[in-house]
Structure 1
Amino acid sequence: MIKLKTLPFWLGLLICFTPAINSPIALILGFLITSFGLVPHNIAVTKITKKLLAYSIVGLGFGIPLQQALTVTANGIGLVMSTIVGTLLLGTIIASWIGLDRKSGHLIASGTAICGGSAIAAVAPAIDAKDEQIGVALGTVFVLNSVALFLFPLIGHALHLDQHTFGTWAAIAIHDTSSVVGAASAYGAEALKTATTLKLARALWIVPVAFVSAWLFRSESKKVTIPYFIIFYCIAIGITALFPQGQTLYHGIFLLSKQALVVCLYLIGCGISVARLKQSGPRPFIFGVILWGLISGSSLLWLLNHPL
């Protein structure tokens, strides 16, 4: 029987299963629920979240067109690899420099390097990140995404960037796919096509980054934890390529997985307390801004000097 005090928790959970709420709002809602002490004590929120995160990432694999992603990756392999590896390396250095804990820094760097919240969700179980580390990383990325959605088109028009260049820049420098699509669609049809395709190609890099992350953060007392859900993520991508006739089903699984990710963010929010946020301090956000600024600026300068 549901206790009256925990009713808001269950109502919030139900709302997250509908399109009425997006990821950032779900995270904030979960945080508010736990701040008022409305989360049931008999539910293993962390355990459920980690499993649901893994299932969500596998389902998202059904939304990636393999051939299209491979083609774009092959055409711009140098740019894709250098920006991803460069972001992760810079992230490690800057996180150490400002005294940010290693896992939070790696999560934010992974989200900045690949595809925002999806990358953080994929890497978090691989490195056994805590709820507050995941929450802080997601919160940082969501804030910067919101800024990029409006800022990037303004910069693009001010610099008179052509559609293809802007689309490429947006795919490299904006975290989440949703914000990439939003900024690029505001800029033009060609920018949208370029940005979406390149961002999907970058999503393939979740696979090696998750495996490398598991190895880097392995415990001295145990062997490397293999993120098996990433293998199933690859299988999902392969199935869509081998059996294209099931596109309607794949799209349904993809949409369901995106909604499950919203539920995950709600549950992650339920595991974050004010005390934990105070303990984290402003460093994660400062780190995210510095890293994002460096990647955005350097990639834009490169594109301006090397027209595509």
Structure 2
Amino acid sequence: MDFRESIFKKEFPIGVHQKTRIGAFVLVLTICATPFVGAVGGLVMGVAFALVLGHPYLEYNHKVVQWLLQASVVGLGFGMDLQRVIQVGARGVLLTMFSIVCTLALGYGLGKAFRVDPKVSFLISAGTAICGGSAIAALSPVIRAKERQVSLALACIFILNALALLVFPWLGHYFGLSQRQFGLWCALAIHDTSSVVGAAGVYGVESLELATTVKLARALWIIPISCISTFYSHGAIRRIRIPYFIGLFLVAVLANNFIPAVANMSYLLGALAHIGLKISLFLIGTGLTRSVWKTVGLGPFLQGLLLWVLISFLGLLLVAGWHF
């Protein structure tokens, strides 16, 4: 069990038989895969299941979510137009760069203000700036963070990431954002790819396409930030976890645009990708156990929350005046 799984300890309620738990888990998981349950519903059902019954296979949850989410994002590429992907990526790069720099700078200041452990503060800031748990997992060995420090940052990001999926679509409608504006806002302000895709998918197809493309471009910043972070720990460049599935996403986009047989299957592949995303969000919800909520201290949580609110507000101001 690695450090990401260590904060998700088994917490089975007393009196619930394991077979009953497994049967209920399979049933709810199946319901989440149907058209009757959306991305938000899947996450809420997952959180409720974790608190009431507990995940019967929690030790495997993180790895399953990681692989299923990546496969689902690649599947979304089979339904995207290459020209649109290039156009969106080129236009969003400056906003992405500006957002990342601002987030890291604000995170540093808030960490000092709330007296958060420097490494915990950096991991929370990087997770908010780039791509949530993936960024934390990539950067923690680079800065030689301890397991407790990583657990604090992960728990904070996971809780806020789940909250983002619930509130962002509502805020988008409240502020009257177009699909393009909302997709760009999601890509800039929400932590993990799963919730970016989930929130944008609720808002609309055009929003989903733009959010996925910009978010994956944002995730590539793991590489330069990891290299720069070596100076933080005064050491040599250590192993960097590169998000290779982004390359597979681009391969899927190319196949959809240049191979007719693949293009003819785009609807089916896209439908499977959306099912995979809903299941991923359900599984993420089941990982938000009582231990996760208890792990986060007040200082780190306040830093993460305020940083996220500030960046979300700044991103909203940018996209509201951005003619995409």
**TM-score class normalised by the smaller sequence:** 0.5 to 0.7
CA contact (8 A) 1:177 1:199 kept: yes
Counterpart of 2:242 in 1: which secondary structure?
Answer: coil
Name the amino acid aligned to 1:266: F
Does residue 173 (structure 1) correspond to residue 189 (structure 2)? The answer is no
Residues 206, 63 of structure 1: CA spacing in aligned structure 2 closer, same or farther, 3 A cutoff? farther
Match for residue 255 of structure 2 among 239, 244, 250 = 239
Shift of 1:68: 0.7
CA contact (8 A) 2:99 2:311 kept: yes
Residue aligning to 2:63: 47
Match for residue 211 of structure 2 among 199, 204, 220 = 199
Residue aligning to 2:306: 290
Q: Aligned ranges for residues 1-308 of structure 1 at < 5 Å?
A: 3-40=19-56, 44-75=60-91, 77-91=93-107, 93-95=109-111, 97-98=113-114, 99=116, 101=120, 102-110=122-130, 119-120=131-132, 123=135, 126=138, 136-156=156-176, 169-174=181-186, 175=190, 176-177=196-197, 179-180=199-200, 198-212=210-224, 223-243=239-259, 246-281=262-297, 286-287=302-303, 289-299=305-315
Structure 2, unaligned runs of 5 or more? 1-17, 141-146, 191-195
Counterpart of 2:239 in 1: which secondary structure?
Answer: coil
Residues 304, 18 of structure 1: CA spacing in aligned structure 2 closer, same or farther, 3 A cutoff? closer
CA contact (8 A) 2:223 2:240 kept: no
Counterpart of 1:40 in 2: which secondary structure?
Answer: coil
CA RMSD of aligned residues (A): 4.2
TM normalised by structure 2 equals: 0.65
Shift of 1:277: 0.8
Counterpart of 1:53 in 2: which secondary structure?
Answer: helix
Name the amino acid aligned to 1:208: L
**1:99-118, CA deviations, whole angstroms, 9 ceiling, x for partnerless residues?**
273444433333xxxxxxxx
**1:62-107, CA deviations, whole angstroms, 9 ceiling, x for partnerless residues?**
3443311212343564334323443455445545654273444433
Residues 7, 173 of structure 1: CA spacing in aligned structure 2 closer, same or farther, 3 A cutoff? same
Name the amino acid aligned to 2:161: V
Shift of 1:249: 1.8
CA contact (8 A) 1:23 1:262 kept: yes
CA contact (8 A) 1:33 1:270 kept: yes
Residues 19, 92 of structure 1: CA spacing in aligned structure 2 closer, same or farther, 3 A cutoff? farther
Name the amino acid aligned to 1:257: A
Residues 178, 35 of structure 1: CA spacing in aligned structure 2 closer, same or farther, 3 A cutoff? closer
Name the amino acid aligned to 1:173: W
**1:150-170, CA deviations, whole angstroms, 9 ceiling, x for partnerless residues?**
3344445xxxxxx8xx66653
Name the amino acid aligned to 1:20: F
TM normalised by structure 1 equals: 0.68
Count of aligned pairs between the two proteins: 283
The percent of aligned pairs where both chains have the same amino acid is 24
